[in-house]
Structure 1
């Protein structure tokens, strides 16, 4: 009988578990050797041997299937039991794609073993509705790679208004994907997918090149002063040591001033202060500006602002919606005072009403962004607006 004691000692020749037993426990072999066998046409067939460091019986535990083979000790063994709940917790927390791939491999193993033993009725399919989302992610990832190669992604520009002069000072670059079959894919969906993989780096390079080309086109059309364009940088991109050099190369190749390209770093990433500090130093040395994005979204910690010299702070739209409340107004006034004391300009997101814009103007905010100022539009729309 299987137990969950800290360690088990098994004598040579003893059965650890038998075919068709319930899969309550897996084992880590600390010492000794174990024989895995099954019955084929009434005869014992050895499937393999396992030694120290190998897992034993984990597949049945993972997919909750009866034991498909018998494990017996070839020599005296010491085993560390692993309860099925330990596997279940880790499997539930795993990436759904990884989980689906693992279950797919288990299904193939079960099928191959059933064919070997002649137990066709024992075949199981673990690819059920729970795997649909995972396989859809795999499919979407492949389609995103293809979209990058075929230039299907669109970069739109959301205007940022200088509140004092009521002019458009710059834009935030936002990527959009019009899928030929799915239609408009939510940026939250495909950007999150890209961030889970190495795809976020080529996506970031794609946006960078388009933004620089847009600045060139705006300059050709006589936009003076040339507006800045801000682009968001993910955690994976920040870890790329060549990020700033790549940006500067794009700018130099087009004879663009560095201060027309702005980097936005979301507030949740600033806790790696050494990494962000190095980036800020390199950007400032090159003449580029860096904004702290989504300030006040739940990760707020004033500590990083003691050492990280951001050029702008972007206030989350939640504060904008609270401007009609005394506490909300007081908080925004305090944040404006803080940004002024730090020498930072402030951009307020989510401005949707004239009343909000007037309140921000009275508080001395520098910039406004939101649907009142303008929705994300194509470069052509910006050019046509003159």
Structure 2
């Protein structure tokens, strides 16, 4: 039984590394500007299309890749896939990258894009585990010099906190979708509004994630949030449908 499990693990890790490109699909979820009243960006999300990986969630696969120190393979694949969508005027493409990928020595070498492509690229990070902030800050500064905006995702639940926000060159923040469900209570609304006010005072651009109802959208609109993302705005769509747009 142990041998079988070991073989299964080896095969699984092989899929996640040498064969990952054959298992990966990307989808696009819109990000809506409340002031411009239109979609101004699309976030690229990973989907795994082969049977071997369908038993696991995307988050579980990402966690496995980080554990076996192979998350950069997925990140660099998505970065490469994003390139052909970065030449559209006034349309931003957001991709999620692991801090482990960003601190790699070869990270900046992957951005052999044109100036126009770089200005349409946004990078989101979610903090997980021990981070080398000195190296991260250096990379963020270099990305800023290239014209790329860095977004802190899942604030304040995904490991993000005030100290980490102040340490880095980040001025755009996504509020974790987990907080939206508490808007049904007065206390939840007070907490959400306080987070938005706090981030605004820091000069942050704010995206509300996980908006799924008109009531949530109207509340978010009333408290000066900049951008909205969630199923009420639009569900993720495949590449073919995105190209038609």
After TM superposition, the score normalised by the length of structure 2 is 0.89
* SS of equivalent to 1:294: strand
**2: distance between equivalents of 1:239 and 1:135?**
31
Bigger proportion of residues as strand: 1
1:200 is displaced (CA, Å) by 1.8
- Matched positions, count: 245
* SS of equivalent to 2:222: helix
* SS of equivalent to 2:157: coil
The answer on whether the counterparts of 2:206 and 2:227 sit within 8 Å (CA) in structure 1 is: yes
- Quickly say closer, same or farther: Cα 1:184–1:147, change in 2 above 3 A: farther
Q: Which residue of 2 aligns with 1:262?
A: 122
1:162 is displaced (CA, Å) by 0.8
5 Å matches for 1:299-314?
299-314=159-174
5 Å matches for 1:248-327?
249=112, 251-252=113-114, 256-268=116-128, 272-297=132-157, 299-327=159-187
CA RMSD in angstroms comes to: 2.3
Runs ≥4 in structure 1, deviation > 6 angstroms?
A: none
Bigger proportion of residues as helix: 2
The answer on whether the counterparts of 1:265 and 1:292 sit within 8 Å (CA) in structure 2 is: yes
After TM superposition, the score normalised by the length of structure 1 is 0.58
The answer on whether the counterparts of 1:292 and 1:310 sit within 8 Å (CA) in structure 2 is: yes
Pick one of 104, 126, 145 that aligns with 2:17. Answer: 145
* SS of equivalent to 1:231: strand
1:353 is displaced (CA, Å) by 0.6
Q: Does 1:194 align with 2:65?
A: yes
Pick one of 232, 235, 241 that aligns with 2:105. Answer: 241
Q: Does 1:136 align with 2:29?
A: no
5 Å matches for 1:1-386?
127-128=1-2, 134-148=6-20, 151-180=22-51, 183=54, 185-216=56-87, 219=88, 224-225=89-90, 227-247=91-111, 249=112, 251-252=113-114, 256-268=116-128, 272-297=132-157, 299-384=159-244, 386=245
1:344 is displaced (CA, Å) by 1.3
* SS of equivalent to 1:173: strand
- Quickly say closer, same or farther: Cα 1:210–1:168, change in 2 above 3 A: same
1:271 is displaced (CA, Å) by 5.2
- Quickly say closer, same or farther: Cα 1:145–1:337, change in 2 above 3 A: same
* SS of equivalent to 2:165: helix
- Quickly say closer, same or farther: Cα 1:192–1:132, change in 2 above 3 A: farther
Structure number with greater Rg is 1
The answer on whether the counterparts of 1:172 and 1:231 sit within 8 Å (CA) in structure 2 is: yes
In structure 1, stretches of 5+ residues that fail to align are: 1-126
In structure 2, stretches of 5+ residues that fail to align are: none
- Quickly say closer, same or farther: Cα 1:342–1:133, change in 2 above 3 A: farther
**2: distance between equivalents of 1:256 and 1:369?**
25
Greater relative contact order (Cα < 8 A, sep 6+): 2
